[in-house]
C-alpha cells in the first residue's frame, strides 16, 4: 500500500502562513531576506528527503537494528541509514537556523521545526543522529572558548562529526545532582574525565568519523549537588593541531540497550577514563554545567514533542490509507440489505470518529509546536525588550506542555491508529505496530513527564515572578476568544471560555496551597494539572484556527448542499481542506475538550490518598 505523505503538508502551510503569518518575521533585520518562496522550497526539500531517503530505511532500523561488537566497542548502524544522513547533511538541515556568519543558513526556528517533523515522521532513529549535531553545535557555539570552538565547530558544521548529550548515570537517573563522574584539572588547562554515563542516544555509531560528547562532571574538590557540576566537551577521537583526527580518546561504549522501540538509534553505555586518559575541555565556566546543559535540555524537550507528534502523524497517515482501501462490511444505512455492496471501512461511523480524533489531536499538537517555535524566533530576533520578554514567557510556559502533553497524547493517537487496522495493526507486517513501540519513550526520556509537570506548575507558573508567563498565555487566550465571537458558533467559544476560567480556579487554589505550606498536596496535583492544561491549550488553538477556516470554508462552499457540496469537496482540494479543518476543530472542542472539566474536577478535589499511602499498602510484591 503506497504512501505519499507522512505529514499533512497542507496543514503545515496553514499553521505557518495563515495562523502564524510567518512572512511577517521579515520585519526583523536578520530575516528580511527570506520570503515564502524560500520557506516553501525548504519545506518541499525536507519532505522529499524524508519520504525518499528516511522513510525507506525506517523498517531497517527496527528489524536489522544495530550491531554492537564488544571486542572493538563499536556499533554499526543499518547501511540504509547512510543515504538519508548524507542527504540531510548535504542539504544543510543540521545548521538551518544558525546564523550565516558561523556556517548556518539563518532561517527561522519555525521552519527548522517544521522540517524536523518531516524527518522524524520518516525515521526518528535516523533523525536523532542528525539532530544531535545541531544540539552539540548550539552549546559549543554559545559557551565554548575560541580554542574549543575552533577545534570542534568546523567539522560539526560540515556534518563530519556527530554529537550527544551525556547526563544520566547509573542509580542517579533524573537526579543529576547525584552524578559521580569526575574531572581532574591538568596543567595544560584540560581535564581528565572518569565515570560512566548510561542511556546516551547516538553514544556510539559509524555514521560520522568522530563523536563529540558534552559531558556533565564534577571537578575534583567541588561541592556536591547540582551547584558543583561543570560541563566538558569530550571527543571520541582527539584532535590534532591541523584539525585532523588524532588518537582514540579514552571513552568507550560498553554496550547498547535492547529497547522496545527506536531500535535504530544506539542508546549506549559510555565509560570515560577507564585507563585514566580521557581528555575533556571545559565548556563555559566552572560549576555552571547545569546552566549550560539546560540550554541543550530545553531544546531537546521541545524536540521530543516534535518527535512524538511526527511519529503519531505517520501512524495516522497510514491509518487513513488503510481505512480508504480496506473493504469490509456495508454502509450502516444498508445494514439490513443482504445485497448491499461492501464499502471501505472509512465509511463506518466509528472509524470516522477515530480518524477525526487523530486528525484533530495531531493538528493541535502541530499548532502548539509551531506556535512555540514562532515565539523562539521573536525571542531571538526582536530588538524590543518588552516583545522579547513576552515571547520568552510563552516559550517557557509551553516547553513542558509541548514535551509532556504531546508525548502523552501521541501514545494514545498511535494506539488509535493501530485500532483502525483491527487485528492487522497488532502484527509486525503493518507499520503502526512499530510506531506504537517507537512513540512510548517520548514520555520518559529528556526528563519524565512528571518532571515536566512539576516544572510547569512550580517554576513556570507559581514561582514565576507575578506569574508573568501565565499572564502572557492568558492574553492570547483572551484575544482569541474576543476574535472568535461573531465568527464561531457560541457552542465552541463558550467551552473554551469556561475552561480558561476553570484553569484560573485551579491556579488560584494552588497559590493558596503554596502560601499555606501544603507542599505535598500541591505537588501531588502537578501531573493532573499538566494533563488538564494540555487539552485546554489545544482547544484554544483550534478556536483560533476556526476564526480563519470558517470564513474560508464558507467562501469556497457557499450555500452548496447535498450532491453539489460533495462535488465541490471532491474536485476542490482547498474546499476539502478548510471544511475538514473546521470539522476537526469542532470535533476536538465539542467531543474531546469536555473531558478537561472532569480532569479539572479531579485536581480541585485534592484527593489525598496518594500522599497518605505507604509502601506497605501495596500488596502482591515482596520488598527486597
pLDDT digits (tens, 9 = 90+) for 95-118: 999 999 999 999 999 999 999 999
Closest CA to 586 of 499, 496, 498: 496
CATH for the 9-67+77-157 domain, from 3.40.50.620, 3.30.930.10, 1.10.260.40, 1.10.540.10: 1.10.540.10
Residue 446 has pLDDT above 80, yes or no: yes
Distance CA 577, CA 367 (A): 16
| pLDDT grade for 443, boundaries at 50, 70 and 90 | very high
What mean pLDDT do residues 183-192 have? 96
Compute the 3-state secondary structure of the chain and give helix, strand, coil in percent, each to the nearest 5: 65, 10, 25
pLDDT digits (tens, 9 = 90+) for 35-59: 999 999 999 999 999 999 999 999 9
pLDDT digits (tens, 9 = 90+) for 543-564: 999 999 999 999 999 999 999 9
Q: Where are the domains of the chain?
A: 9-67+77-157, 161-288, 450-610
pLDDT digits (tens, 9 = 90+) for 223-239: 998 899 999 999 999 99
Long-range Cβ contact pairs of 87-91 (< 8 A, separation 24 or more)? 87/49, 87/53, 88/49, 88/53, 88/54, 88/119, 88/130, 88/159, 89/130, 89/158, 89/159, 90/159, 91/45, 91/46, 91/49
Residue 174 has pLDDT above 70, yes or no: no
pLDDT digits (tens, 9 = 90+) for 343-352: 999 999 999 9
What mean pLDDT do residues 213-229 have? 93
Given 387, 446, 490, 616, which residue is catalytic? 446
- Predicted pLDDT at 449: 95
pLDDT digits (tens, 9 = 90+) for 394-420: 999 999 999 999 999 999 999 999 999
| pLDDT grade for 163, boundaries at 50, 70 and 90 | very high
Residue 12 has pLDDT above 60, yes or no: yes
CATH code of the region 161-288: 2.40.110.20
Residue 302 per-residue DSSP state: H
**Residues of 356-390 as b/e, b for ≥16 C-beta within 10 angstroms?**
bbbbbbbbbbbbbbbbbbbbbbbbbbbeeeeebeb
**Cβ atoms of 410 and 366 closer than 8 Å:** no
The rounded percent of the chain whose pLDDT value lies above 90 is 90
What mean pLDDT do residues 449-477 have? 96
- Predicted pLDDT at 88: 98
| pLDDT grade for 1, boundaries at 50, 70 and 90 | very low
Closest CA to 202 of 262, 156, 115: 262
Range of lowest pLDDT (1-10, 173-182, 522-531, 595-604): 173-182
pLDDT digits (tens, 9 = 90+) for 505-524: 999 999 999 999 999 999 99
| pLDDT grade for 614, boundaries at 50, 70 and 90 | confident
- Predicted pLDDT at 296: 85
**Cβ atoms of 280 and 215 closer than 8 Å:** yes
Q: Would you call 446 a catalytic residue per the annotation? A: yes
Amino acid at each position: 500500500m503506497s504512501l505519499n505523505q507522512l505529514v499533512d503538508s497542507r496543514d503545515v502551510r496553514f499553521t505557518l502562513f495563515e495562523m502564524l503569518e510567518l512572512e511577517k518575521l521579515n520585519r526583523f533585520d536578520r530575516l528580511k531576506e527570506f520570503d515564502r518562496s524560500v520557506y516553501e522550497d525548504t519545506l518541499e526539500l525536507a519532505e522529499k528527503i524524508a519520504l525518499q531517503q528516511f522513510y525507506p530505511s525506517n523498517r531497517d532500523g527496527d528489524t536489522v537494528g544495530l550491531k554492537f561488537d564488544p571486542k572493538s566497542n563499536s556499533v554499526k548502524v543499518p547501511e540504509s541509514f547512510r543515504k538519508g544522513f548524507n542527504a540531510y547533511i548535504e542539504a544543510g538541515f543540521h545548521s538551518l537556523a544558525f546564523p550565516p556568519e558561523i556556517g548556518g543558513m539563518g532561517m527561522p526556528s519555525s521552519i527548522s521545526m517544521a522540517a524536523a517533523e518531516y524527518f522524524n515522521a520518516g525515521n526518528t532513529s535516523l533523525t536523532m543522529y542528525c539532530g544531535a549535531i545541531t544540539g552539540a553545535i548550539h552549546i559549543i557555539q554559545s559557551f565554548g572558548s575560541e580554542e574549543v570552538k575552533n577545534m570542534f565547530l568546523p567539522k560539526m558544521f560540515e556534518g563530519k562529526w556527530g554529537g550527544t548529550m551525556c547526563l544520566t548515570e547509573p542509580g542517579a537517573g533524573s537526579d543529576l545532582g547525584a552524578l559521580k563522574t569526575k574531572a581532574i584539572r591538568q596543567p595544560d588547562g584540560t581535564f581528565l574525565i572518569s565515570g560512566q554515563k548510561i542511556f546516551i542516544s547516538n553514544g556510539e555509531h559509524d555514521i560520522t568519523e568522530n563523536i563529540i560528547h558534552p559531558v556533565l562532571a564534577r571537578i575534583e574538590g567541588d561541592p556536591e549537588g547540582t551547584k558543583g557540576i561543570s560541563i566538558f566537551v569530550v571527543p571520541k577521537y582527539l584532535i590534532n593541531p591541523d584539525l585532523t583526527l588524532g588518537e582514540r580518546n579514552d571513552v568507550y561504549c560498553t554496550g547498547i540497550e535492547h529497547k522496545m522501540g527506536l531500535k535504530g538509534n544506539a542508546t549506549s553505555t559510555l565509560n570515560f577514563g577507564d585507563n585514566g586518559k580521557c581528555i575533556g575541555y571545559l565548556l563555559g565556566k566552572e560549576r555552571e554545567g547545569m546552566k549550560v546543559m539546560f540550554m541543550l535540555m530545553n531544546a531537546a524537550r521541545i524536540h521530543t514533542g516534535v518527535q512524538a507528534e511526527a511519529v503519531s502523524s505517520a501512524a495516522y497517515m497510514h491509518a487513513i490509507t488503510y481505512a480508504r482501501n480496506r473493504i469490509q462490511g456495508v454502509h450502516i444505512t444498508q445494514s439490513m440489505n443482504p445485497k448491499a455492496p461492501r464499502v471501505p471501512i472509512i465509511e463506518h461511523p466509528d472509524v470516522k470518529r477515530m480518524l477525526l480524533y487523530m486528525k484533530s489531536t495531531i493538528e493541535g499538537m502541530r499548532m502548539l509546536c509551531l506556535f512555540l517555535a514562532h515565539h523562539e524566533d521573536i525571542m531571538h530576533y526582536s530588538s524590543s525588550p518588552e516583545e522579547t520578554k513576552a515571547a520568552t514567557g510563552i516559550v517557557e510556559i509551553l516547553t513542558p506542555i509541548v514535551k509532556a502533553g504531546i508525548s502523552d497524547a501521541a501514545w494514545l493517537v498511535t494506539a488509535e491508529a493501530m485500532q483502525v487496522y483491527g487485528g492487522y495493526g497488532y502484527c509486525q507486517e503493518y507499520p503502526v505496530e512499530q510506531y506504537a513501540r517507537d512513540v512510548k519513550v517520548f514520555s520518559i526520556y529528556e526528563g519524565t513527564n512528571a518532571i515536566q509537570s512539576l516544572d510547569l506548575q512550580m517554576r513556570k507558573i507559581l514561582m514565576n515572578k507575578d506569574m508573568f508567563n501565565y499572564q502572557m498565555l492568558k492574553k492570547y487566550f483572551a484575544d482569541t476568544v474576543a476574535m472568535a465571537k461573531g465568527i464561531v458558533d457560541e457552542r465552541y467559544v463558550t467551552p473554551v471560555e469556561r475552561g480558561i476560567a476553570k484553569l484560573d480556579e485551579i491556579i488560584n487554589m494552588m497559590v493558596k496551597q503554596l502560601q499555606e505550606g501544603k507542599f505535598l498536596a500541591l505537588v501531588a496535583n502537578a501531573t493532573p494539572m499538566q494533563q488538564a492544561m494540555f487539552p485546554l491549550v489545544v482547544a484554544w488553538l483550534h478556536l483560533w484556527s476556526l476564526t480563519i477556516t470558517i470564513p474560508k470554508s464558507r467562501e469556497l462552499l457557499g450555500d452548496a448542499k447535498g450532491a453539489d457540496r460533495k462535488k465541490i469537496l471532491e474536485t476542490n482540494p482547498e474546499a476539502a481542506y478548510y471544511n475538514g479543518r473546521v470539522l476537526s476543530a469542532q470535533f476536538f472542542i465539542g467531543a474531546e475538550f469536555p473531558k478537561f472539566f472532569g480532569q479539572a474536577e479531579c485536581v480541585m478535589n485534592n484527593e489525598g490518598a496518594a500522599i497518605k499511602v505507604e509502601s506497605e499498602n501495596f500488596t502482591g510484591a515482596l520488598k527486597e
